[in-house]
Amino acid sequence: MTIKKIYKKQKSKLAKFLAFILIIIPLAVLFLISKTPWANLFILAITGLVLLLIPIAGIPLFFFERYVITNEGIFIEYPYSIYKHFISQKIRFSDIEKIYLLEKWNCFGKRYRLVMVKKRGPWTYEVKEGNIIFLNPENPEAFVDDVKQYMLY
């Protein structure tokens, strides 16, 4: 397997800001709890839940999802690299029926572009057996062109 090209996931400013807030808020909560004289078991349970949020929210802030185009297919590498064996997803070129450039709208009606990969089979969005995969690379037009080019070989 040879790596042809690597694309990083596109990150919006809003997503970065939300991830930052998700780290700041639990820290503020922890600070406040340390000041309360009546912290009981329930409050401690909530604190535990908030503590769990910190690493979960922090990982996508510092590590980005990557799309690796190889001679075999597209590898989607998720930032949770400890479980890479389970989480990284492989889309073989032979499985791809068509690759599209999809245009959607944000809440202000502004267009943004995604890449949509349609695998062979019926049109389903199911998590395990779904044939539609949405990708959000940094340069979606170039990504589609590259995949189409490598699919020919």
Query: Where along the sequence are the contacts to other proteins (CB under 8 A)?
Result: 14, 18, 21-22, 25, 28-29, 32-33, 35-38, 42-43, 46, 50, 53, 100-111, 113, 116, 123-125
| Shortest spacing between CB 58 and other proteins, in angstroms | 15
Burial of 37 (0-12, 13-18, 19+ CB in 10 A): exposed
**Closer to other proteins by Cβ: residue 25 or 59:** 25
| Shortest spacing between CB 136 and other proteins, in angstroms | 14
**Closer to other proteins by Cβ: residue 38 or 153:** 38
| Shortest spacing between CB 54 and other proteins, in angstroms | 12
Distance between CA atoms of residues 105 and 67, nearest Å: 23
**Closer to other proteins by Cβ: residue 2 or 36:** 36
| Shortest spacing between CB 88 and other proteins, in angstroms | 25
Helices (H), 73-129: 84-87
**Closer to other proteins by Cβ: residue 25 or 76:** 25
Number of helices (H) and strands (E), helices first, in the chain?
Answer: 4, 7
Instruction: Centre a 10 Å sphere on the Cβ of residue 79 and count the other Cβ atoms it contains.
Output: 16
| Shortest spacing between CB 131 and other proteins, in angstroms | 11
CA atoms within 13 A on the CB side of 48: 6
**Closer to other proteins by Cβ: residue 86 or 105:** 105
* Beta carbons within 8 Å of 117's beta carbon, 6+ residues apart: 74, 91, 96, 99, 100, 132, 133, 134, 135
